[in-house]
Amino acid sequence: MTTRRAPRARPETLVKRTEILRAATATFGAKGYKNGPLTEIADQVGMTHAGILHHFGSKDQLLVEVLKYRDQEDVAPLEGAHIPGGMELFRHLVRTAFTNETRPGIVQAYAVLSAESVTDEHPGRAYFEERYQTLRREITEAFAAVCAERGITAPATVDRAAASILAVMDGLQVQWLLSPDDVQLAEASAFAIEAIVAAVLEPSRTPLDLGLHPTS
Amino acid sequence: MTTRRAPRARPETLVKRTEILRAATATFGAKGYKNGPLTEIADQVGMTHAGILHHFGSKDQLLVEVLKYRDQEDVAPLEGAHIPGGMELFRHLVRTAFTNETRPGIVQAYAVLSAESVTDEHPGRAYFEERYQTLRREITEAFAAVCAERGITAPATVDRAAASILAVMDGLQVQWLLSPDDVQLAEASAFAIEAIVAAVLEPSRTPLDLGLHPTS
DNA sequence: GAGAGGTTACTACGCTGTCAGTAAGTGATG
DNA sequence: CATCACTTACTGACAGCGTAGTAACCTCTC
């Protein structure tokens, strides 16, 4: 319970810390959190594993800081450093998918860690729970804004659509990591997002009878 | 490399083996493969971990058999023990999503293991690679059949759609496991599958301009 | 009585975290 | 401006645990 916050860092030290965070992202991405040893991270930055623990206190804490670090890095390049709303959000998500195709390491880290986080007592669980909640809310609000713009009331499907959009992006990442030649990450993401957005804005022109609506 | 297959099993032993496979599914689901100890599996079936190794030779081999076992269990209840085609396949996928809502343990095992399989040298990797390839092919063929039925030529989007359908199902499982109260696994899956199928069969009535088509 | 289905005992290893010690920096002070 | 007091940034050794796999040995059952 010792709050090892703010150890009055030397300016040079902050550089080293982010170096560690990057190395940890690589190792956790390649091997998972539980199976990614501190020594491997330490090697990458020319240190012993004890040095890592000196900076972050524990491996659990390191993971939390890795996740937080990735968040602020992702938001950084955005205009005004804030996620857009309305239809622009969907465009942003599609752009993100295209960007992701150029950085398999980070994609792998998120894919592995998010799934691993559902295991018992995982230190990253709270982070991913909140993350998904936040993202779903933002997408739901974007739907509401777009619907309002078009003078229609947002249908009840927006909640399902919001979860589905995130889901399809994540799921495609796993398939893409397994078979990069068979799966077009960005284009498939764009296609699916368009399909889902269209289904919300112009619902069920043709009922497909997939068993959803219990007619039988 | 010793083929420890067919050790002339006693009928009672086969029961024990499947008992082990079920226990392993539970443990691997709860903790992941690497972090799921053999001793925990052994405890569940009233055995020592050496007993498990007697049956399966190694932990890696056990995982492979767990995955194979789940496959044949899933196909078993189906008519004719074979996956349907055409529009019936999509109905089957939606039904599966509803079934899955009643068995979080198995869902968790698949979610955790499929993502873990993309890590370095994971023993389950080949299985998941093939599994996704097979499933994508089956869905693509179902699309082709449905299109033929309607007298239209299957559009180029079927490949992306096939991957997207699997992706959305998998991705929703992770979110559902993290927040079961916030995410409706089955209903969201059904909605997304309908949306994607509709987008294939009746493409782009209204262009949404999500940046997919580089018009600028 | 041979082999299947185990157990007990043990080896060997990998991992996190602790601890003591060291070298280099920081800062107040006489 | 030199020195003393203290902090930061580590290293190296090691404790302590959990784990996979092996080997030898029982003990039922065909």
Summarize pLDDT for B55-84 with one digit per residue, the tens: 999 999 999 999 999 988 877 776 666 788
pLDDT at A11: 74
Q: How confident is the model at residue B213 (pLDDT cuts 50, 70, 90)?
A: low
> HSE-up of B127 (CA within 13 Å, CB side)?
21
Q: Provide the residue ranges of all domains of chain A, joining segments of one domain with +.
A: 10-65, 83-201
Spatial distance from the CA of A50 to the C1' of C22 (Å): 15
> Which residues in B lie closer than 8 A to residue A181 (C-beta atoms)?
none
* CA gap A97, A155 in Å, rounded: 26
> Which residues in A lie closer than 8 A to residue B169 (C-beta atoms)?
167, 171
Amino acid identity for residue B145 in this structure: A
Q: How confident is the model at residue B3 (pLDDT cuts 50, 70, 90)?
A: very low
Strand C contact nucleotides, protein CB < 7 Å: 3-9, 14-20, 25-26
Look at residue B188 and tell me whether its pLDDT is greater than 50.
yes
Q: How confident is the model at residue B15 (pLDDT cuts 50, 70, 90)?
A: very high
pLDDT at A2: 34
Residue B164 has its nearest CB partner, among A32, A160, A168, at: A168
Q: What is the CA radius of gyration of chain B?
A: 20
**Minimal CA–CA distance to B86: which of A168, A206, A210, A194?**
A210
> Which residues in B lie closer than 8 A to residue A211 (C-beta atoms)?
91, 94-95, 190
> HSE-up of A60 (CA within 13 Å, CB side)?
8
Q: Which residue has the higher pLDDT, A6 or B170?
A: B170
Minimum-distance nucleotide, CA of B11 to C1':
C4
* CA gap B2, B57 in Å, rounded: 9
Yes or no, beta carbons of B178 and A128 under 8 Å apart? yes
* CA gap B89, A34 in Å, rounded: 38
pLDDT tens per residue across span B127-157: 999 999 999 999 999 999 999 999 999 899 9
Indicate yes or no: strand D within 7 A of the C-beta of B48. no
DSSP of A72-90: HHHHTTSGGGS---THHHH
Nearest CA-CA distance, residue A190 and chain B, Å: 6
* CA gap A83, A205 in Å, rounded: 32
Residue A199 has its nearest CB partner, among B114, B172, B195, at: B195
Spatial distance from the CA of B9 to the C1' of D28 (Å): 15
pLDDT at A5: 40
DSSP state letter for A156? T
Triad A173, A178, A179: Cα angle to 5°: 95
Q: Which of 2.40.160, 1.10.3470, 1.10.260, 1.10.357 would CATH assign to domain A83-201?
A: 1.10.357
Residues of chain A with pLDDT under 50: 1-6, 215-216
Spatial distance from the CA of A8 to the C1' of D1 (Å): 26
**Minimal CA–CA distance to B86: which of B157, B144, B35?**
B144
Chain position carrying tokens 């498990």: B52
Look at residue B31 and tell me whether its pLDDT is greater than 50.
yes
Could you tell me which CATH class the domain A10-65 is placed in? mainly alpha
**Minimal CA–CA distance to B163: which of A159, A189, A80?**
A189
A27-86 residues near strand D (Cβ < 7 Å): 42, 46-48, 50-51, 54-55
Strand D contact nucleotides, protein CB < 7 Å: 7-13, 18-24, 29-30
pLDDT at B1: 37
pLDDT at B204: 67
B58-97 residues near strand D (Cβ < 7 Å): 58-60
Triad A37, B38, B31: Cα angle to 5°: 55
DSSP state letter for A210? -
CATH number for the domain running over B83-203? 1.10.357
What does the pLDDT average to over B37-61?
Answer: 96
What value does the mean pLDDT of chain B take? 90
Exposure letters B143-180 (e unless 16+ CB within 10 A, then b)? bebbbeeeeeebbebbbbbbbbbbbbbbbbbbbbbbbe
Nearest CA-CA distance, residue B77 and chain A, Å: 18
Spatial distance from the CA of B67 to the C1' of C1 (Å): 38
> Which residues in B lie closer than 8 A to residue A189 (C-beta atoms)?
164
CATH superfamily of B12-67: Homeodomain-like (1.10.10.60)
What does the pLDDT average to over B111-121?
Answer: 97
Spatial distance from the CA of B47 to the C1' of D29 (Å): 20
Nearest CA-CA distance, residue B63 and chain A, Å: 17
Yes or no, beta carbons of A199 and B204 under 8 Å apart? no
pLDDT at A9: 63
